[in-house]
Amino acid sequence: MLLVALGIGIVAVLASALLGPKKASRAKLMAYESGNDPEGGGVGIGQRFPVHFYLVAMLFIIFDIETAFFYPLAVAYQKLIPFAFFEAITFVLLLLVGYVYILKKKVLEWA
């Protein structure tokens, strides 16, 4: 499935590369920035971004691991109740402490 799907993409790109016209000029190949060359220029050079994105990614990793822990618990839940319930609640409460902390620290604000 994956091979076929990737193959479709590769075939499409190749077909377009073979069939399309090739009349590039310097102006055509400029990055889109109001007709000027980009300041700093190029991939990953002189580009700075708000730290929020980093924080969101960090939080995503934490909470996604939480989700990952929950999946086996959810699937086996009916065999483990009621013990599993209290276990899960403890885990959720621990994470909620962290969640409330980031709320109070206003990490989730984009002002």
Partner 1 sequence: MPDLIATLLISLLKAVLVVLALLTTFAYMTLIERRLLGRMQLRPGPNRVGPMGLLQPAADAIKSIFKEDLTVTLADKLVYTLAPIIAIGMALTAFGGIPAGPAGSLFGENPWVYSLDAGILALLALTSMGVYGIFLGGWASGSKYPMLGALRSSAQMISYELGMGLSILGLLMIVGTTSFQGIVGWQAQNGVLLLFQSLGFALFLISSFAEVNRTPFDLPEAEQEIVAGYLTEYSAIKWALFQMAEYVNMITASAVMATLFFGGWKGPQVLNAVIPGMSDWPIVWLVAKIAFFLFLFIWVRGTLPRLRYDQLMRFGWKLILPLALANTVMTAAFLAFRGTGGLWFLGVLSLAGLLALLVMSDRVRVLWNQPTVRRPESEAVRAGGD
Q: Measured from the CB of residue 101, what is the shortest distance to partner 1 in angstroms?
A: 13
Reference 47, options 31, 66, 35; nearest CA is 31
| Closer Cβ to partner 1, 32 or 97, answer by number | 32
Q: List binders of partner 1 among 50-89 (CB under 8 A).
A: 52-53, 56-57, 59-60, 63-64, 67, 70-71, 74-78, 81-82, 84-85, 88-89
Please report whether residue 23 would count as binding partner 1 according to CB under 8 A.
yes
Token digits of residue 55: 């924080």
* DSSP code per residue over 55-87: HHHHHHHHHHHHHHHHHHHHHTHHHHTTHHHHH
Between CA 89 and CA 33 the distance in angstroms is 52
Collapsing DSSP to helix, strand or coil, 100 comes out as helix
Token digits of residue 14: 């190749």
Interface residue list for partner 1 (CB under 8 A): 1-6, 8-10, 12-13, 15-17, 19-24, 26, 28-33, 38, 41-44, 47, 49, 52-53, 56-57, 59-60, 63-64, 67, 70-71, 74-78, 81-82, 84-85, 88-89, 92, 96, 99, 103, 106, 108-111
